[in-house]
Amino acid sequence: MSLNTRLDALKERHASLETRIFDEDHRPQPDAETLMRLKVEKLRLKEEMERLRTLVN
């Protein structure tokens, strides 16, 4: 898999997590543990995307 393909896949996953975080946060009783887990995963993906961007450029 090329770096650009991997980066595109990570961007899609990141956007999906953004949606899941929004949905969970706007529930009547959001689950704090789920929110934390999703946010940590989103941050991990962001860091991976930044690392890949430095390799592509």
Q: Residue 38 burial by CB count (10 A; 0-12/13-18/19+): exposed, middle or buried?
A: buried
In the prediction, which pLDDT does 44 show?
A: 97
CA torsion angle 12 5 48 31 (round to 10)? 20
Q: What pTM value is reported for the model? A: 0.87
- Per-residue confidence at 52, pLDDT binned at 50, 70, 90? very high
**Tell me: the pLDDT tens digits for 16-51?**
999 999 999 999 999 999 999 999 999 999 999 999
Is residue 57 scored above 90 in pLDDT? no
Which pLDDT belongs to residue 45? 97
pLDDT at 1: 73
